[in-house]
Amino acid sequence: MGQELFNYDNTNLEEVIQYSEKILNRKFSDILKEYDEADYKTYEDYQNQEANEYEKKEIKPSSKGQYGNYIERYYFGYQPNSNAAADFEEIGVELKVTPFKVNKNGTISAKERLVLTIINYFEENLDDFYQSHLWKKCSKMLFLFYNGLIPEQTLYDYMIEKVFLFEWFEEDMNVILDDYARITQKIKEGRAHELSESDGNYLSTCTKGAGKGKDWKKQPFSDVMAKQRAWELKSSYMTYLINHKIFASHEQESVLATAKGTKKTFTQIIEEKILKYKGWKAEDLYDAFDVPVRSKSKNSLLIRKMIGLTGDLENTQEFQKANMNLRVIRVNKDDLPKEDSPFKVYDFIELAQNDNWEESHVFQEICDKRYMFVVFKEEAPGEYVLNQVKFWGFPERLLDEAQRVWNETRTIISDGVQLTQSDKGVSTNFPQSQANPFLFTKIHASNSYYEIEKDVFVGKGKLSDTNSLPDGRRITKHSFWMPKKFLQEILRGEWD
């Protein structure tokens, strides 16, 4: 029986897919064994039936990040490269080996963003997506998915579990094109150094390279050096793809479906539908859309009805793909919000123990999201009218400060939160918004409750209002907040 490894025609799409499917559920150790026993060590040698000598590089079981490169080399028979053309150039297909993970609650999500190709600031077509290097290389992609987060698993245990030929979905292209235009506009304005992952809804950019100051590049319209960046499909987009296209879960409601036949993006549709009522009083809108004024979710219910959805906006296809969060804010006549804006409650112990920034609560729940702000402005005391819709994401230049606040908070928790009792109640040594003007932490409960010494509590709250610290004490639940002065700057466009 002849050699089966590399036995495929890379000029035939169907054969490439069929060959790819033969790797399903095979441990990497089995692939390596077959490679070691094979006469031909590359695709080219197999086609020419020429056995050449090759030095096999040492493979460490812990080198999990090289799995994709190893699959290219030891299963498909070619060396990983940074060529401008697609991996299977004759059929225009790029190979992407990418991980998913199974979460604690049993749901599946992308383990990371999908990096597409490095951006050449000078040579990229900044005006036409379909003439770009990105499109020429990645218009078709063959995805090989594997579980990249199994405890006690080494590289040798990894297995490809799904093969999927990705061709960009028509329903997403208006958003993709809008993302591309927004990002390339920054480059054309000489602002490549200000690019951020938050620039795009589905398509964005990420830093790429060795880091430590080694990856700064020249840009065409400014003398300021810019970080080397690559095009990416955001992890939220990949998570949606995995759940609804790869592992075929149920289809979610769509904003675009509420405006069939349009070429507008979902953000444009949302903005138009909501601002149709610009200047309306909040109370009149609640009445017009039959929203119970006393409901805690009255604002999200109002927005979803204004758009024409039956379910929550944040559960739509578009919001899931973009990892977008809805915020309804009331501001005074000077555009200053009435209050700070909170995020989800965090677990003190988990926050202190997790030292991976990109897997941290702050990065995933705050910095990695896009935001939709719906603003009601005060016209008279206690009277608010619909005023503005704004889409925004944390810019790159704020990430270092967000990471600093995260580390500062972790240190305080690990060292032992200091509780100070006074006539006004109990306070902690977490810095307030005067010290941390972009992101700070404070209590997230209606009533406070602090264990000032073992089994001795102070406050009007109850045990369910608290979480445990690493030292065993229980204190009022906390979350991170965006200060209202920072929100005012965001709404005014100072952080676009």
Structure tokens at 283: 């109370």
Rg (CA), the chain: 26
Structure confidence at residue 84 (pLDDT): 78
Structure confidence at residue 161 (pLDDT): 94
| C-alpha distance from residue 102 to each of 105, 110, 111, 146, 151 (Å) | 8, 9, 9, 11, 11
Structure confidence at residue 202 (pLDDT): 97
Structure confidence at residue 413 (pLDDT): 98
Q: Can you tell me whether residue 251 is helix, strand or coil? A: coil
- Residue 209 makes CB contacts below 8 A (sequence gap 6+) with 215, 227, 228
Q: Can you tell me whether residue 211 is helix, strand or coil? A: coil
Q: Can you tell me whether residue 331 is helix, strand or coil? A: strand
Structure confidence at residue 145 (pLDDT): 96
> Cβ distance 119 to 218 under 8 Å?
no
Query: CA 159, CA 27: separation in Å to the nearest integer?
Result: 5
Structure confidence at residue 91 (pLDDT): 97
Structure confidence at residue 58 (pLDDT): 83
Structure tokens at 395: 């810019």
Structure confidence at residue 387 (pLDDT): 97
Q: Is 196 exposed, middle or buried (0-12, 13-18, 19+ CB in 10 A)?
A: buried
Cα dihedral sign, 296-301-303-304:
positive
Cα dihedral sign, 122-125-127-129:
negative
H helices of 276-346, in order, are 282-288, 298-307, 317-322
Structure confidence at residue 412 (pLDDT): 98
Structure confidence at residue 251 (pLDDT): 73
Q: Which long-range contacts (CB under 8 A, 24 or more apart) does 425-430 make?
A: 425/458, 425/459, 426/450, 426/452, 426/458, 426/459, 428/475, 430/478
Structure confidence at residue 209 (pLDDT): 78
Q: Is 322 exposed, middle or buried (0-12, 13-18, 19+ CB in 10 A)?
A: buried
Can you give the pTM of this predicted structure?
Answer: 0.85
Q: Is 454 exposed, middle or buried (0-12, 13-18, 19+ CB in 10 A)?
A: exposed
**Average pLDDT of adjacent 10-residue blocks, the chain of 496 residues:** 88 97 95 93 93 81 86 92 86 96 86 95 96 97 92 90 95 96 97 94 90 83 96 96 82 87 91 97 96 93 95 93 96 95 96 93 93 97 96 94 98 97 92 96 95 93 96 97 97 94
Cα dihedral sign, 470-472-477-478:
negative
